[in-house]
Structure 1
Amino acid sequence: MRTNIHFIVNPIAGKGKNELSEALLETYFPKTEFSVSIKKTKFVQHASALTKTSIEEGAQIIVACGGDGTINEVASCLVNTAVILGILPMGSGNGLASNLKIPKNVKKALAIIKTQKVIAIDTGTINDKPFFSNTGVGFDAHVIADFEESTTRQLFSYVKSTLRTLKNYHYKNLVELKYNETTELISPFLLFISNSNEMGYKMSLTPRASLQDGLLDVVVVPKLSNFKLFLFAILFFFKKHHWLKEVRFKQVTALEIKSLDGSILKAQKDGELFFPKNPEIEILIHPKNLNVCVL
């Protein structure tokens, strides 16, 4: 019986103009062994709709071809199923793919999918919406908001967004955090929750995070002086942010964040803006409920 494999391609991810030819795929997935389908996204959340259709069509492997946003849409439909996720990194950051050591070179990534070596990884949810790499409340969400307005999705654009946000970011929210039977009040500069050890562009706030340890790694950064904000940004780019004594690290299975003034907190998940519907956010880990093709 032939393996049914579907490719969900985001043509405008990363630098755009992403193509995946049938001729190239046939060199890795011959018709005698595989039934191959290529589908292209045309709008936001189209990848989710295409993935659901592929599941109904009996796809055994569904390959997300794009960035972390595309991967999130596809993978969100595959959690708690037997369908395997493949990844062709075509985005700007590619944080999850990098953590899984899946190369940007299309031919090398296709070779990984062909071997069908599969592992089960943890996934997270923020208010029941899945994320696979990271989520966050505060500064990183505001950086993403600025970054989404960029015409180019490159590392330099991300750096510019970070510096612009650092200059203009004002925060007054007092939030209640609950984790590991602890409750604390904090006015956070940053609450970053990660399942993966990379954010994309080889940058990381949580270098010790693992996709298979059943834990989320949390970085808590309180309100800082302007000088320490600048210092934090510089240290982060050199992966030395842990040198700042105000930066705290936690490992949790669940985290509750509640805005005490009733305002809706701006968040991000897997590099896309996310707006919770109420002032309370619940973030959970779900151990090893997604099957992924890896090296």
Structure 2
Amino acid sequence: MKSENYILLVVNPIAGDSDKSSIITAVEYEVSQRDYKLKIYETTGDNDKEAIDSLIGEYNPSRILVAGGDGTISLVAECILATEICLGILPAGSANGIAVNFDLPEILSKQIDIALSDCTMKLDVLFINGKLCLHIADLGLNAELIKNYENSGVRGKWGYFLQSIPTLFNSESPFHFTVETDGGTLEETGILLAIANASKFGTGATINPSGKMNDGKFEILIFKNLDFIEIFKTISDQPNMSSDFVHVISTNKAQISSRKKIPFQIDGEFLGEVDTVSATIQKETLLMAVPEMFCKLHTPNH
């Protein structure tokens, strides 16, 4: 095991269809200014987790920076759960929903400053059907939209928008959900059931304004109908959504079922159709570098 103070930079070279050389150069400079040593790993899509685990064992990095999208961040997070290795995010994917929830700045130099800063927090991690979820999973309309978006070939928010209209017309919603928690069993009909530790979808829509990522709980949100006025409210950071539009349950574990198999996604990745979902949360198990304002919002005084 190397004894020097290493930082590992994990780069997904194909994320977001953009060249990552400027990110690598900027990180190399900032790391050298701080007297760290840098090891760079580029993902290949083949045995990446094993390769990252091996590098962690060899270099013992104090921190891992990720230049990629949600999929790459989740991959690295799995390697460092329940350790003292800190994760820093440099959003560079076509889907950056995890980064959206931290309100990371657009400017690369500021992102690197945050990723290397002393402002760190231990965050809760959701497991849904045994799979890691860092911000939001859902059943129903949004998962259907992601499936259609993945099949369309048009990227970015414009791609989502183009797919939203045919998805709305072709959807088999509403769906019938049964939710079992320690608080009892609920049956509800809706167009979408979200399981959220974070507050925002990757598009920036705030669907879970009360969500905190270090309180040992997650929220289940059942959206009952397609109310465009209520949907428009989600553009705000603190939307006051009607209980006629959304039913919210806060819990630390849940079993969810539907009468028929429906589209399912975790952190923006479409995972097929399911009729049962189990969700649990592990409290404060991922150490992450975050903006100072995020720390302030998640401390008990706020």
TM bucket (normalised to shorter chain) is 0.7 to 0.9
Residues of 2 paired with 1:169 and 1:32: CA distance? 53
Residue 288 of structure 1 corresponds to which residue in structure 2?
284
Give the counterpart letter for 2:140 in structure 1. G
- Which of 21, 26, 45 aligns to 1:24? It is 26
2:191 counterpart SS class:
strand
Residue 298 of structure 2 corresponds to which residue in structure 1?
none
- Which of 260, 263, 267 aligns to 1:266? It is 263
CA contact (8 A) 1:51 1:62 kept: no
TM (normalized to structure 1)? 0.86
Residues of 2 paired with 1:21 and 1:220: CA distance? 39
**Cα separation, partners in 2 of 1:117 and 1:172, compared to 1, 3 Å:** closer
Residue 56 of structure 2 corresponds to which residue in structure 1?
55
Map Cα deviations across residues 35-54 of structure 1 (whole Å, 9 max, x no partner).
211222233x7553443233
Q: How does 1:234-249 map to 2 (within 5 A)?
A: 234-236=232-234, 242-243=241-242, 245-249=244-248
Residues of 1 paired with 2:192 and 2:221: CA distance? 7
Structure 2 runs not aligned, ≥5 long: 292-302
Residue 209 of structure 1 corresponds to which residue in structure 2?
211
* Count of residue pairs brought into register by the alignment: 287
1:198 Cα offset (Å): 1.6
Residues of 1 paired with 2:234 and 2:114: CA distance? 32
1:93 Cα offset (Å): 4.2
Q: How does 1:220-231 map to 2 (within 5 A)?
A: 220-222=222-224, 224=225, 228=226
1:250 Cα offset (Å): 1.9
Structure 1 runs not aligned, ≥5 long: none
CA contact (8 A) 1:14 1:154 kept: no
1:120 Cα offset (Å): 0.4
Alignment root-mean-square deviation, CA: 2.6
Give the counterpart letter for 1:253 in structure 2. N
Residues of 1 paired with 2:48 and 2:199: CA distance? 25
Residues of 2 paired with 1:148 and 1:256: CA distance? 28
Q: How does 1:1-295 map to 2 (within 5 A)?
A: 2-20=4-22, 23-30=25-32, 33-43=35-45, 47-57=48-58, 58-171=60-173, 173-222=175-224, 224=225, 228=226, 233-236=231-234, 242-243=241-242, 245-260=244-259, 263-275=260-272, 279-295=275-291
